[in-house]
Amino acid sequence: METTEWFSEDQATFGDRVAGAREAAHLTQKQLAGKIGVKLTTLRGWEDDLTEPRANKLQMLAGLLGVSMTWLLTGQGEGPTEPTEGEISPGVSDILSQIRELRVQMQDNVKKMGQLERQLRAALKE
Protein backbone atom coordinates (compact mmCIF):
# COMPACT_ATOMS: atom_id res chain seq x y z
CA MET A 1 0.00 0.00 0.00
CA GLU A 2 1.88 3.06 -1.22
CA THR A 3 0.53 6.45 -0.22
CA THR A 4 1.90 9.95 -0.43
CA GLU A 5 -0.72 11.55 1.81
CA TRP A 6 0.58 13.12 4.99
CA PHE A 7 -2.65 12.48 6.86
CA SER A 8 -5.28 10.11 5.60
CA GLU A 9 -8.83 11.02 6.66
CA ASP A 10 -9.89 7.42 7.12
CA GLN A 11 -6.84 6.50 9.20
CA ALA A 12 -5.87 9.52 11.30
CA THR A 13 -7.55 10.02 14.65
CA PHE A 14 -8.11 13.26 16.53
CA GLY A 15 -4.96 12.54 18.54
CA ASP A 16 -2.96 11.86 15.39
CA ARG A 17 -4.04 15.20 13.96
CA VAL A 18 -3.17 17.08 17.17
CA ALA A 19 0.26 15.44 17.34
CA GLY A 20 0.92 15.98 13.63
CA ALA A 21 -0.09 19.64 13.74
CA ARG A 22 1.97 20.16 16.90
CA GLU A 23 5.02 18.64 15.23
CA ALA A 24 4.42 20.71 12.09
CA ALA A 25 4.38 23.78 14.34
CA HIS A 26 7.73 22.63 15.82
CA LEU A 27 6.35 22.46 19.36
CA THR A 28 6.98 19.85 22.02
CA GLN A 29 4.10 18.46 24.03
CA LYS A 30 5.30 20.43 27.03
CA GLN A 31 5.47 23.68 25.06
CA LEU A 32 1.98 23.27 23.61
CA ALA A 33 0.48 22.28 26.96
CA GLY A 34 1.99 25.42 28.49
CA LYS A 35 0.65 27.67 25.73
CA ILE A 36 -2.86 26.23 26.11
CA GLY A 37 -2.74 26.20 29.90
CA VAL A 38 -3.25 22.49 30.48
CA LYS A 39 -1.21 19.82 32.20
CA LEU A 40 1.17 17.77 30.08
CA THR A 41 -0.81 14.64 30.98
CA THR A 42 -3.95 16.29 29.60
CA LEU A 43 -2.31 17.00 26.25
CA ARG A 44 -0.91 13.48 26.14
CA GLY A 45 -4.41 12.16 26.77
CA TRP A 46 -5.65 14.11 23.75
CA GLU A 47 -2.83 12.86 21.53
CA ASP A 48 -3.35 9.28 22.73
CA ASP A 49 -7.11 9.54 22.04
CA LEU A 50 -7.95 8.89 25.68
CA THR A 51 -9.77 12.19 26.15
CA GLU A 52 -10.86 15.19 24.09
CA PRO A 53 -10.59 18.87 24.89
CA ARG A 54 -13.51 21.10 25.72
CA ALA A 55 -14.64 23.57 23.07
CA ASN A 56 -12.60 26.49 24.44
CA LYS A 57 -9.39 24.43 24.50
CA LEU A 58 -10.16 23.02 21.04
CA GLN A 59 -10.44 26.56 19.72
CA MET A 60 -7.12 27.48 21.35
CA LEU A 61 -5.49 24.35 19.91
CA ALA A 62 -6.67 25.19 16.41
CA GLY A 63 -5.46 28.77 16.70
CA LEU A 64 -2.04 27.90 18.09
CA LEU A 65 -1.48 25.12 15.57
CA GLY A 66 -2.75 27.12 12.59
CA VAL A 67 -5.45 24.60 11.63
CA SER A 68 -9.23 24.65 11.60
CA MET A 69 -11.27 23.11 14.40
CA THR A 70 -13.08 21.06 11.75
CA TRP A 71 -9.79 19.60 10.59
CA LEU A 72 -8.82 18.64 14.13
CA LEU A 73 -12.15 16.90 14.66
CA THR A 74 -12.75 15.32 11.26
CA GLY A 75 -9.63 15.61 9.13
CA GLN A 76 -11.50 17.78 6.64
CA GLY A 77 -10.75 21.43 6.16
CA GLU A 78 -7.61 23.43 6.71
CA GLY A 79 -4.82 21.37 8.22
CA PRO A 80 -1.12 22.04 8.67
CA THR A 81 1.04 22.67 5.66
CA GLU A 82 2.30 19.38 4.31
CA PRO A 83 6.05 18.90 4.31
CA THR A 84 7.66 19.36 0.94
CA GLU A 85 9.27 16.45 -0.90
CA GLY A 86 12.75 17.53 0.20
CA GLU A 87 11.82 17.56 3.89
CA ILE A 88 11.03 13.84 4.10
CA SER A 89 13.79 11.39 3.27
CA PRO A 90 12.85 8.23 1.36
CA GLY A 91 13.60 6.12 4.42
CA VAL A 92 11.23 8.15 6.58
CA SER A 93 8.58 8.01 3.86
CA ASP A 94 8.86 4.22 3.76
CA ILE A 95 8.52 4.00 7.54
CA LEU A 96 5.45 6.26 7.50
CA SER A 97 3.91 4.11 4.79
CA GLN A 98 4.49 0.96 6.85
CA ILE A 99 2.98 2.61 9.93
CA ARG A 100 -0.12 3.59 7.97
CA GLU A 101 -0.41 0.05 6.65
CA LEU A 102 -0.13 -1.42 10.16
CA ARG A 103 -2.73 1.03 11.46
CA VAL A 104 -5.22 -0.15 8.83
CA GLN A 105 -4.48 -3.79 9.65
CA MET A 106 -4.91 -3.09 13.37
CA GLN A 107 -8.26 -1.39 12.78
CA ASP A 108 -9.40 -4.37 10.72
CA ASN A 109 -8.26 -6.76 13.46
CA VAL A 110 -10.12 -4.76 16.12
CA LYS A 111 -13.32 -5.03 14.05
CA LYS A 112 -12.80 -8.77 13.60
CA MET A 113 -12.15 -9.20 17.32
CA GLY A 114 -15.38 -7.38 18.11
CA GLN A 115 -17.30 -9.68 15.79
CA LEU A 116 -15.72 -12.76 17.38
CA GLU A 117 -16.53 -11.48 20.88
CA ARG A 118 -20.18 -11.03 19.88
CA GLN A 119 -20.22 -14.56 18.44
CA LEU A 120 -18.67 -15.92 21.63
CA ARG A 121 -21.25 -14.16 23.83
CA ALA A 122 -24.05 -15.53 21.68
CA ALA A 123 -22.57 -19.04 21.83
CA LEU A 124 -22.23 -18.84 25.62
CA LYS A 125 -25.89 -17.84 25.98
CA GLU A 126 -27.02 -21.02 24.20
pLDDT digits (tens, 9 = 90+) for 11-63: 788 998 899 889 888 889 999 999 999 999 999 999 999 999 998 899 888 88
User: What whole-number distance in Å separates Cα of residue 28 and Cα of residue 36?
Assistant: 12
pTM over 0.75: no
Q: What percent of the chain has pLDDT over 70?
A: 83
User: What whole-number distance in Å separates Cα of residue 99 and Cα of residue 41?
Assistant: 25
Whether the pLDDT of residue 84 is over 60: the answer is no
- The per-residue b/e assignment along 92-118, b for 16 or more CB within 10 angstroms, e otherwise, is eeeeeeeebeeeeeeeeeeeeeeeeee
